[in-house]
Structure 1
Amino acid sequence: MTATSRVSAEATAAWHSFVRRRTAVFFTFFFPVILILIFAVLVQTNPGGGGGGGLFTEPAGYYLPGYLAVVVLFTPLSRVGSTVARHREGNRFEKLATTPLSRAEWLLAHTLVNVVIIGIASLIILGLMALVTGTANLALGPANLAIVAVFVAFAVALFCGLGAMLGSLADSQDGVIAASNAIALPLLFLSNTFVTPELLPAWFRPAMSLSPLTYFARGVRDVTYPQMEIMRVGGSSLVGWQFNLAILAVLTVVFFAVGAALIPQTD
């Protein structure tokens, strides 16, 4: 049995496990709808801030990476983290150790399933953004969408690796959920997504580069939001999406490798 067939078999089983849980399926794909309705329709944006500044003062297209970041960040952390914790509690990793499937292959299979799930959710977000806010401030051509898909795939794999770390180290599924929220919420708002760097203290802005989500947000914005070809944070120009994708790819390899290494062979 080859590695490809082992990963394919585990991914198929994980996909069927997901689709059988109708509540999880519903909220996974309905959540982006709620997100867009609240922020893009009810809250809306106020370019220029009416002279007062504050949140949501940029054009609607600026916040597309933030909407995508929500599903890219929260879904892998909670799904993979909870799955690893649940497998530990059920002693399933002891059974896995008796099979040819390695820990890296197991994590890769579950990562591929999450890439598909979050890819669908991302398409819903893109479609709703185009429908609700229009495409005047967005570049959503085939080439742009292909690059965004690569960013989404790398970011999902990265946070699947982080989710595997949390699931391996936390003492319960409840602990995984608590740890996921404690990590995800600060990252979501401090990674150049919804909060612009200008709203943060000058001394904190360099710390944004420590967040993997920052490279996802900056890269996707550079691809989909033409007005942000060059962003300036603290007076320093940031290069284009290629640099952000390269950094994200390196971090993905590191997080995935550590996550796979921490998955227990026995419980």
Structure 2
Amino acid sequence: MSRLKRITSTTRAGWHSFLRRRTAVFFTFFFPVIIVAIFAGLVQTQPTGGGIFAEPPAYYIPGYLAVVVLFTPLSRVGSEIARHRDGNQFEKLATTPLKRWEWLLAQTLVNVVVIGLAGLLLLGLTVVVTGVSVPLEPATLLLIPFVAVGVALFCGIGALLGNFADSQDGVVAASNAIALPLLFLSETFVTPDLLPSWFRPLVGLSPLTYFARGVRGLTYSGDAIGAVVTNLAILSVLALVFFAAGAVTIPRTD
């Protein structure tokens, strides 16, 4: 079997495995509804009154998208690795031609599709609920690679968590411990001026910051295309690094 067929068949199997878990399907797509209902409501209550939600609603589009791009890959890939380890699946995979990075790539492709659909739903709900307008320009199509690369990056980090956590519960706990600080300290919902001056340079250490800056440049601030592409390039390099690290640490046997 060729490499392309191995990846394709593994991706197809991962997609059907996701669809069979009805609870996972429900909450994957219901989660954006909750996020928009809660956060968009809060944004509209204080449009100019100061505090965290003092910016116009469109400012927070990167934050809404970051929720699904960040949380879902971390928990899904990490839990999948923990589940495979508990079920001795890696021992079985070691007897096949499928390589570790091919398996992780297949899991990543499934997540790109799932989260891409969830992100599209979230973006549509944001437009309907808050009344914001997303620029309909050719450059706006860069949202697609931003979401895809962001998902790949956090799939790599999720793989690392799945390998180092000792159980599925440990993966969930570790995912939340990493995701929650990143979500609010990466120029998503909290503007840099609200952070202590000594902490602001550290925001650049978060990979989610480059996702937020790039998406905001496309949907709100109208940044030059060069600045948007620079953020996408940085995000892509980080995605390659974390994907490679996650693939290397996937166990060959249990």
**Shorter-normalised TM range:** over 0.9
RMSD between aligned residues? 1.3
| Residue 46 of structure 1: how far off its partner (Å) | 3.0
Residue 229 (str. 1) matches residue 223 (str. 2): yes
Q: Distance in 2 between matches of 1:35 and 1:197?
A: 22
Q: 1:142 to 1:111 in 2, by over 3 A?
A: farther
Q: Distance in 1 between matches of 2:238 and 2:35?
A: 27
Q: Secondary structure at the match of 1:219?
A: helix
Summarize deviations over 1:89-121 as a string: whole Å, max 9, x none.
111101101101000000000000000000000
Q: Distance in 1 between matches of 2:164 and 2:126?
A: 38
Q: Which residue of 2 aligns with 1:134?
A: 131
Equivalent in 210, 214, 236 of residue 215 of structure 1? 210
Q: Which residue of 2 aligns with 1:119?
A: 116
Asked whether the 8 Å contact 2:43–2:57 carries over to 1, the reply is: no
Equivalent in 140, 144, 157 of residue 149 of structure 1? 144
Q: Distance in 2 between matches of 1:63 and 1:148?
A: 15
Summarize deviations over 1:132-191 as a string: whole Å, max 9, x none.
12234x32x152442011000000000000000010111111111111000000000000
Q: Distance in 2 between matches of 1:81 and 1:92?
A: 14
Q: 1:191 to 1:45 in 2, by over 3 A?
A: farther
Q: 1:103 to 1:201 in 2, by over 3 A?
A: same
Asked whether the 8 Å contact 1:187–1:211 carries over to 2, the reply is: yes
When normalised by structure 1's length, the TM-score is 0.92
Identity of aligned residues (%): 67
| Residue 228 of structure 1: how far off its partner (Å) | 5.3
Aligned ranges for residues 84-99 of structure 1 at < 5 Å? Answer: 84-99=81-96
When normalised by structure 2's length, the TM-score is 0.96
Asked whether the 8 Å contact 1:191–1:213 carries over to 2, the reply is: yes
Which 5+ residue runs of structure 1 have no aligned equivalent? Answer: 231-238
| Residue 45 of structure 1: how far off its partner (Å) | 5.2
Q: Which residue of 1 aligns with 2:178?
A: 183
Q: Distance in 2 between matches of 1:43 and 1:221?
A: 16
Matched to 1:114, the amino acid is N
Matched to 2:53, the amino acid is F
Q: Secondary structure at the match of 2:48?
A: helix
Asked whether the 8 Å contact 2:42–2:53 carries over to 1, the reply is: no
| Residue 212 of structure 1: how far off its partner (Å) | 0.3
Q: Which residue of 2 aligns with 1:242?
A: 229
| Residue 47 of structure 1: how far off its partner (Å) | 3.5
Residue 109 (str. 1) matches residue 103 (str. 2): no
Q: Distance in 1 between matches of 2:95 and 2:223?
A: 51
Which 5+ residue runs of structure 2 have no aligned equivalent? Answer: none
Matched to 2:219, the amino acid is T
Asked whether the 8 Å contact 1:161–1:259 carries over to 2, the reply is: yes
Q: Which residue of 2 aligns with 1:234?
A: none
Between Structure 1 and Structure 2, how many residues are aligned? 253
- Point out 4+ residue stretches in structure 1 off by more than 4 angstroms: none
| Residue 2 of structure 1: how far off its partner (Å) | 1.0
Q: Which residue of 2 aligns with 1:7?
A: 7
Q: Secondary structure at the match of 1:240?
A: helix
